[in-house]
Chains A and B, each alone.
Chain A
Amino acid sequence: MRYLPKSPADREALLKAIGARSIDDLFAPIPAEYRLQRDLKVPRQMAESEIVDWYRERSRENGDGYATFLGAGAYYHYRPVIIDSLISRGEFLTAYTPYQAEISQGTLQSIFEFQTMICELTGMEVANASMYDGSTAAAEAVMMAVRLTGRRSVVIAHSLHPEYREVLATYAWHQGMPLSAAPFTSTGRIDLKALEESINSDTACVLIQSPNFFGTIEDVAAIADIAHKRGALLVVSIAEAVSLGIIEPPRQADIIAMEAQSFGVPLGFGGPYCGVIATREQFVRQMPGRLVGQTTDKTGKRGFVLTLATREQHIRREKATSNICTNQALVALMANIFMTIYGKVGLRELAKQNLAKAAYAAQQFGKHAKVLFPSAPRFNEFVVQTSEDPYAVNARLLGHKIVGGLPLKKFYPELGNAALWCCTEMTTRTSIDTAVAMVAEGERSVRAGKEPETQGVAR
């Protein structure tokens, strides 16, 4: 086996040194009746070239070469090539958690820079070293609000990513945290009046997303006022991190739970991604997840260490702020490099291109179908309502090697034939025009009372 650095003679020498007759001696502690007497039924050992070929085949079966209008919590942005050059260095790739600070300064300093940039972008005072993803970060942020306020219940915007809401329901299940929903209005924004009524003296926090699941930017200041007036905290989830380049961050929030996938992390069929929690300094001891702090060594030289570890499971065990034991260090490093590349000016220009593409697309779609929630500002996503089933539109588009918007029936049946479309800097005008033409074609056919031509509706 090519990963194993021992010859048969080496193995013999080791056994001899140990004083064992055969390798079986070393497995003697395992009761004989449980020892496996056969080969595992897994594929036979493959050559590297065979492995690459097998995966190339899988890659071809997986939408390789398709343009996409999908967003909804996972965004297709350009990834500058130096991200992979740098994260492929073995010193980053094959290192472990930086517990031994003296030989982990590279990882530690880069996390410190990550924490700093997340603070700059979110307007918060402290940020952790990252967490699993945006959905679990939101759940952890809510549990943090429960600890901070001593209250139990949570009000969740219905315009929060539906899968984030599902994760939250799972996490809340055994913690005695009643969840209630705050609806959205015809503007796509949260219903402030309904929100106000749903907050009571047991509400630990209000959880919203902005830009929300429909791409609409919430009136965070107004929501924060309502929450704070009743002693509840405001938790804001940000799923599209690039929005921070041109959208005012939710500075009025008490906790921000974000997904940094947009910052240079590949779509990768849903993961690994990069959740982050950012908050005010006064709440730091209730924040879950790893933290890096600056200090000095015995000669006075600046250096970095993991700090405030007493919040964590390996010390506090069942009383810990969370059971979380890792961050997403390598993915956070991707995000860190991405933020460094675009920086102060580039991030704004990048966000502006996203804004322009989405604005153009929404305007074009609007000529033929209904673009919902037109009155509130939005970033790079919008909802198009058609007469035709969006799955049918998408099936035709697939023939052009384009993946259309996400049909919303599964998540929001009340919106009818609606789909969530996303445009990033990667979306070309040509594919926008093609998609618009397909929608227009469908609308014309439906109006004329006949089915447009579809080869099998893919769901």
Chain B
Amino acid sequence: MPYPTDFRYTKEHEWIKTDGKNATVGITVYAQESLGDIVFVELPKVGSEITAGKTFGTVESVKAVSDLYAPASGTVTEINGELATAPEKINKDAHSAWMIKVTLKNPAELNSLLSAADYEKFIAEEAGH
């Protein structure tokens, strides 16, 4: 599975990519596979605050709803409006169909997240049982 090495990952299957204090957040290929066809994404408003480990939105398939957990704390600067009308983009390419852009409060928070290798190990274990 091609998990980009310049991303960091959560155990709740979000990815985050940073450029200094600016970060982009989405969900992983593994997450979209276990959800199935995604039909709706609920995202926070631009300007709202998100907190590491807390929910910032939901993603829905036909018969399931999953919370989205913030990989890090910060302020939402942009949301991917395309997902409102085309949530299937996440199924097609989860790692480029980003959800929100955030200005990070404390980029050091990312140190506690998983690397690509660790994440791949983690999902291999999770899929194992």
- By beta carbon, the residue of chain B nearest A316 is B65
Q: Tell me the smallest distance from the CB of A303 to a CB of chain B, in Å.
A: 15
Interface membership of B63, Cβ < 8 A: yes
Which residues of B lie under 8 Å from residue A285 when comparing CB positions? 40, 42
Residues of chain B within 8 A of A310, CB atoms compared? 40, 60-65
Greatest chain A CB density within 10 A among B60, B63, B64 is at: B60
CB distance from B20 to the nearest CB of A (A): 33
Do B40 and A309 have beta carbons less than 8 Å apart? Answer: no
Closest chain A residue, CB of each to CB of B64 = A315
Task: Give B38 Cβ to nearest chain A Cβ, in Å.
Answer: 11
Interface residues as binary, A300-336 with B (CB distance below 8 Å gives 1, 0 otherwise): 0000000001100001100100000000000000000
Closest to A317 in B: B65
Residues of B within 8 A of A319 (CB): 65
A315 pairs with B40, CB closer than 8 A: no
Q: How far is the CA of A285 from the CA of B84 in the complex (A)?
A: 13
Contacts of A309 in B (CB 8 A): 62-63
Q: Binary interface profile of A, 274-316, with partner B (CB < 8 Å = 1, else 0)?
A: 0000000000010000000000000000000000011000011
| Shortest distance from the beta carbon of A101 to any chain B beta carbon, whole Å | 12
B63 contact set on A, CB distance < 8 A:
309-310, 315
Chain A residues within an 8 Å CB radius of B64: 310, 315
- A309 to B64 CA separation, bound complex (whole angstroms): 9
Q: Which residue of A lies closest to B65 (CB)?
A: A310
Task: Among A309, A310, A319, find the residue whose CB has the most chain B CB atoms closer than 10 A.
Answer: A310
Rounded to whole angstroms, the CA-CA distance of A309 and B60 in the bound complex is: 10
Query: Which residues of A from 174 to 209 have beta carbons under 8 Å from B?
Result: none
- Contact bitstring B31-71, A, C-beta under 8 A = 1, else 0: 00000000010100000000000000000111111000000
Quote the shortest CB–CB distance from A282 to chain B (angstroms). 11
Give the residues from 38 to 77 in chain A that come closer than 8 angstroms, CB to CB, to chain B.
Answer: none
Q: How far is the CB of B56 from chain A (nearest CB, A)?
A: 15
Q: Which residues of A contact B61 (CB under 8 A)?
A: 310
Q: Which residues of the partner chain B approach A315 to less than 8 Å between Cβ atoms?
A: 63-65
Residues of A237-253 contacting chain B, CB below 8 A: none
Q: How far is A304 from B61 in the complex, measured between Cα atoms in Å?
A: 18
Contact mask for chain A residues 385-415; partner B; CB cutoff 8 A; 1 contact, 0 none? 0000000000000000000000000000000
What CA separation (Å) do A316 and B40 show in the bound complex? 14
Shortest Cβ distance from A320 into B: residue:
B65
Q: Which residues of A contact B62 (CB under 8 A)?
A: 309-310
Chain B proximity of A98: nearest CB distance (Å): 15
CB distance from A455 to the nearest CB of B (A): 63
Output the nearest chain B residue to A309 by Cβ-Cβ distance: B63
What's the nearest-Cβ distance from chain A to residue B61, in Å?
Answer: 8
Interface residues of B in 57-90 (CB under 8 A from A): 60-65
A309 to B63, CA, bound (A): 7
Q: Find chain A residues with CB under 8 A from B42 CB.
A: 285
CA distance A316 to B42 in the complex (A): 14
Within 8 A of B (CB), among A113-150: none
**Chain B residue at smallest Cβ distance from A314:** B63
Bound CA–CA A150/B127 (angstroms): 39
CB of B25, distance to nearest CB on chain A (Å)? 22
Closest A residue to B58 by beta carbon equals A310
What's the least CB distance linking B39 to chain A, in Å? 8
What mask results when residues 318 to 362 of chain A are scored 1 for a CB within 8 Å of chain B, else 0? 010000000000000000000000000000000000000000000
Complex-state Cα separation, A315 to B63, whole angstroms: 7
Whole-angstrom CA separation of A315 from B40 in the bound complex = 15
Residues of B contacting A316 with CB < 8 Å? 65
A285 to B63, CA, bound (A): 14
Complex Cα–Cα for A316 and B61 (A): 12
Give the complex CA separation of A386 and B107 in angstroms: 77
A2–chain B nearest beta-carbon distance, Å: 41
Complex-state Cα separation, A345 to B71, whole angstroms: 59
Instruction: Tell me, rounded to whole Å, the shortest Cβ–Cβ distance linking B43 to chain A.
Output: 13
CA distance A319 to B65 in the complex (A): 10
B60: chain A residues at CB < 8 Å are 310
**Cα–Cα distance between A315 and B65 once the two chains are bound (Å):** 7
* Bound: A230/B83 CA distance, A: 31
- Considering only CB atoms, which chain B residue lies closest to A319 in the complex? B65
List residues of chain A with CB within 8 A of the CB of B40. 285, 310
A285 to B65, CA, bound (A): 13
Q: Which residues on the A side are within 8 Å of B65 (C-beta)?
A: 310, 315-316, 319
Give the most central of B61, B64, B65: most A CB within 10 Å. B65
Subset of 16 A-B contacts with CB under 8 Å: A285-B40, A285-B42, A309-B62, A309-B63, A310-B40, A310-B60, A310-B61, A310-B62, A310-B63, A310-B64, A310-B65, A315-B63, A315-B64, A315-B65, A316-B65, A319-B65
Chain A: residues with CB nearer than 8 A to chain B? 285, 309-310, 315-316, 319
Q: In the A-B complex, list the 3 residue pairs whose CB atoms are closest, starting with the nearest.
A: A310-B60, A310-B65, A316-B65
**13 further interface pairs, Cβ-Cβ under 8 Å (given A310-B61, A310-B62, A310-B63):** A285-B40, A285-B42, A309-B62, A309-B63, A310-B40, A310-B60, A310-B64, A310-B65, A315-B63, A315-B64, A315-B65, A316-B65, A319-B65
